[in-house]
Amino acid sequence: MLSPLAFARAARVFSGATACLLLSFGTVGLKAETALLENGGFEDGLAHWHSRDEMSSAVAEAARTGKLGLRVVDEDEGLGSSLNSSEIFVNEGDVVEVSFYANTDDTFLGVYLWPVDVDGRLIKASERGDLVSVRIEPTAGWEQFTFQQTMPEGVSAVSIWVHSWSSATGTASLDDFKITVTPATPAE
Ligand SMILES: [Ca+2]
């Protein structure tokens, strides 16, 4: 199994092709780009996602669309789940919007944006160490969630982090993650 750092590097190399593609279209205009995220619907299991524990899995019971979805089961009162998507390349000032669906009876997890610098170091949104996120409350069946963040100074890439909190427990289904990037308007 790859270490998180090795994984990040591998993902960075892989994402290079996407970044070049975006650059080549850059002259066309500042259009929001959607189809960036690999396997956002978990139809390929957890391929392109990186889990640091056994609490996240791709199962049929968690599918909103297709055959599979993400199931997070956290029964540990001391540890939380941790699952990152692959990284996509972004620039400072880009507006990154995350959209997904969740179905849960519990309040125990959030979905975060995880921006990193060129060395893979996390760039926090405040000195308190916050990340921009959405907190999942009990839902009435499948509900859509969206949130966004303007990419900070020094950013190189961003991923989605699905994380259940250490002292909380619960079960949730999540599916159909999408990332939309609206490029920063260049200075005149
Ligand atoms: Ca799916």
Q: What is the CATH number of the domain that holds 125?
A: 2.60.120.260
What is the pLDDT confidence band of residue 35, given thresholds at 50, 70 and 90?
A: low
Question: Does 27 reside within a domain?
Answer: yes
Question: Does 33 reside within a domain?
Answer: yes
Dist. CA 60 → ligand 1 center (Å): 8
Joined together, the tokens standing for residue 174 give 């999540």
Dist. CA 100 → ligand 1 center (Å): 11
Dist. CA 82 → ligand 1 center (Å): 19
**Within 10 Å of residue 187's Cβ, how many Cβ atoms?**
5
Dist. CA 66 → ligand 1 center (Å): 5
Question: Do residues 139 and 78 touch, judged by C-beta distance below 8 A?
Answer: no
- Residue 158: domain span: 4-182
Dist. CA 75 → ligand 1 center (Å): 24
Question: Does 73 reside within a domain?
Answer: yes
**Within 10 Å of residue 23's Cβ, how many Cβ atoms?**
10
Question: Does 129 reside within a domain?
Answer: yes
The vertex-174 CA angle with 172 and 178, nearest 5°, equals 155
pLDDT at 32 over 90: no
Dist. CA 52 → ligand 1 center (Å): 21
Question: Do residues 40 and 176 touch, judged by C-beta distance below 8 A?
Answer: yes
Question: Do residues 45 and 58 touch, judged by C-beta distance below 8 A?
Answer: yes
Give the chain's domain count: 1
Question: Does 54 reside within a domain?
Answer: yes
Contacts of 106 (CB under 8 A, 6+ apart): 138, 168, 169, 170, 171, 172
Comparing 79 with 7, the larger pLDDT belongs to 79
Contacts of 188 (CB under 8 A, 6+ apart): none
What is the pLDDT confidence band of residue 188, given thresholds at 50, 70 and 90?
A: low
Dist. CA 14 → ligand 1 center (Å): 22
Joined together, the tokens standing for residue 76 give 């540990």
The pLDDT tens digits of the residues spanning 38-95 come to 999 999 999 999 999 999 999 999 999 999 999 999 999 999 999 999 999 999 999 9
Joined together, the tokens standing for residue 181 give 């990037």
Question: Does 107 reside within a domain?
Answer: yes
pLDDT at 106 over 60: yes
pLDDT at 144 over 90: yes
Dist. CA 67 → ligand 1 center (Å): 6
pLDDT at 23 over 70: no
Joined together, the tokens standing for residue 151 give 């990419």
**Within 10 Å of residue 70's Cβ, how many Cβ atoms?**
28
Dist. CA 41 → ligand 1 center (Å): 4
| Mean pLDDT confidence for 157-182 | 96
Dist. CA 144 → ligand 1 center (Å): 14
| Mean pLDDT confidence for 104-111 | 97
Contacts of 161 (CB under 8 A, 6+ apart): 82, 83, 84, 85, 111, 112, 113, 114, 131
Question: Does 187 reside within a domain?
Answer: no
What is the pLDDT confidence band of residue 26, given thresholds at 50, 70 and 90?
A: very low
Dist. CA 168 → ligand 1 center (Å): 25
Q: What pairs with residue 82 in β-bridges? A: 163
Give alpha helix (H) positions in the chain. Answer: 4-25
DSSP state of 124: -
